[in-house]
Amino acid sequence: MIIPQDFAAGSKKALPIVLGYLPIGFAYGTLAGLAGINLPYIAMMSLLVFAGSAQFITVSMLAAGAGAVSVIITVFLVNLRHFLLSASLAPYLKRLPRRVLPLLAFWLTDESYAVAYGELREGERSHLFLLGLFGTAYVGWTISGVLGGLFGNLFNSTTAAVAMEYALYAMFIFLLVVQASDRKLLCAALLAGLLSLFFYFLLPGSWYIILATVVTATVGVVVEKWQGSF
């Protein structure tokens, strides 16, 4: 079977994301296995949820005996940021076939958003490119979770598995450095970081991430319009 060139190019762009997902997904699968979740359900959660932070939270809450309603509400709040991510990408996706939009929406993650947004800012990309980018990341995450579920019992405690989660921060730092290509983007990144830290000590839960994102995006829009008026 011949793979379309655009799809292959998108898959290639996803390789850094997949490399970052391997230790994180393995950690998720390991923790889920240690929490008593069977391998089919570990894989099913990756296939149907596909949200790293939400899956880690779900495993922790299930291990603590939380009910389904509590888990669903918590995951919904944690993933509210996806409304902002999708709204940011929407203007660049108007020319894509409508049939692929639901799939891209489901596959959207922080990491794939960062790469896709950078690519779309540089020029138009086909739906095959985005399917290759998002789909490869999806497959990489699912496989890494299954591997963690299969071989996670090699760990004697959760310490090693939890330590692998810090690879998430390294991946985000890498994506941030790649995207901060000019002074405006760098200032936005610094502002978002400072606001996140400020709101973290001020607000409970994960609202500090959403609020810092909204404030930074609002400031960015205001600055862009102010500069455009001169």
For residue 150, the enclosing domain spans 5-179
Final residue in a domain of this structure, among 139, 158, 179:
179
User: Whole-model pTM above 0.85?
Assistant: no
Per-residue pLDDT at 165:
55
Query: Do 15 and 68 sit in the same domain of this protein?
Result: yes
Query: Do 199 and 143 sit in the same domain of this protein?
Result: no
pLDDT tens digits, 64-74 = 787 888 888 87
Note the residue count of the chain. Answer: 230
| CB within 8 Å of 43: residues ≥ 6 apart | 142, 145, 146, 149
Per-residue pLDDT at 101:
92
Query: Do 172 and 223 sit in the same domain of this protein?
Result: no
Query: Do 172 and 189 sit in the same domain of this protein?
Result: no
Asked whether the beta carbons of 139 and 22 are under 8 A apart, the reply is no
Mean pLDDT over the full length of the chain: 82
Per-residue pLDDT at 40:
93
pLDDT tens digits, 171-226 = 567 656 666 666 777 888 888 889 988 988 887 766 777 788 788 878 877 877 77
Rounded distance between C-alpha atoms, residue 168 and residue 179, angstroms: 17
* CA angle, residues 67, 73, 77, in degrees to nearest 5: 145
Query: Do 22 and 100 sit in the same domain of this protein?
Result: yes
Asked whether the beta carbons of 46 and 24 are under 8 A apart, the reply is no
Final residue in a domain of this structure, among 179, 198, 216:
179
Residue with tokens 């230790």: 23
Query: Do 166 and 210 sit in the same domain of this protein?
Result: no
Residue type, 123: G
Final residue in a domain of this structure, among 162, 179, 196:
179
Q: How far is CA 89 from CA 63, 101, 205, 216, 218, in A?
A: 36, 11, 26, 16, 16
Query: Do 59 and 45 sit in the same domain of this protein?
Result: yes
**Number of structural domains found in the chain:** 2
Rounded to an integer, the average pLDDT of 49-66 is: 83
Residue type, 27: A
Query: Do 194 and 174 sit in the same domain of this protein?
Result: no
Query: Do 115 and 219 sit in the same domain of this protein?
Result: no
The answer to whether the Cα torsion of 113, 190, 195, 121 is positive or negative is: negative
Query: Do 91 and 203 sit in the same domain of this protein?
Result: no
Rounded distance between C-alpha atoms, residue 168 and residue 183, angstroms: 25
Is 80 exceeded by the pLDDT of residue 32?
A: yes
